[in-house]
Structure 1
């Protein structure tokens, strides 16, 4: 019986998770292809069936993280107990907990991207998955009379592009100074979203 695309994806993600654990143990740079093959008991052919390179494992990890965040976003979107503003305030920060959980993998992603343009292009592709759910939240706010926006989809797309252009978007640091700066970015981003959507500040208090 031929393997289906779903089988391929599931197996690829299972192997990715196992390789992630090896990276966490030995470090990305210190983990060779032979380390991966020996630890996971994979043949070289089987590895290359799923990945073109060690770097591609990290890119698959990023896709998996994106899917995880999308699931969280859709849970918020479908929660009938929340109004549009509540959904928005939950939607904006959902990345933070996932980023902390995957902090080392995110740092490896920063490492393998040869320049900011390459990184931004990859993130933009991932970010397109969030445009529709984000636009749905905006549309809901328009219908509730709390968002003042004429073009919800285009607004969602522009705001997500702004988010992806933030310097060091994924940096998780042990240094207080870095984290303080990151907090300021998050607070500024939240205010930009609020202002862009025309939300009256009194509604947030």
Structure 2
């Protein structure tokens, strides 16, 4: 049996530094400074460590764009109950809290992400609830605004999430997504809200800047 990392918070502290994200410098996150070393651990090493791919350790372009949009357009979330789906580091959820949301929930199925989000919320002095379950398909009746970023990497998950988002949008609630042109982003019934040139790293992306959009998903 593979030996798990018992203290995930300690692992995060040892492999990250509290740093500002380039497009959202007012929010600090525990980010990997040795991206290649952390990301390119062998599958065997990852399994031995009990560590899923560390999506939580990076400020991805879609999340930065959506966080920037929320901060610059606080009326999007102010006074509303907000959930950040597949939240990773919790950047978008933190931005929603900063923008005046009445309550903020971050969701991810990665247990390392849960620890990272708690640490990032504490570092930014905001309150955040965390939902650890797979919520795809849930009607999310407890929330007024649904936020998501960097989720269109692969099928069939992207298709399942799109169908779910369309259903949520049909209920009249805003469903906003940050995306830097991933392969499986929906191509129809999308309203572009904003465009950003997001500084990135070639260690993670194919360029130093990613052209990134914020979209509202329509029913």
- TM-score, structure 1 normalization: 0.30
- TM-score, structure 2 normalization: 0.28
Structure number with larger C-alpha Rg:
1
Larger fraction in helix? 1
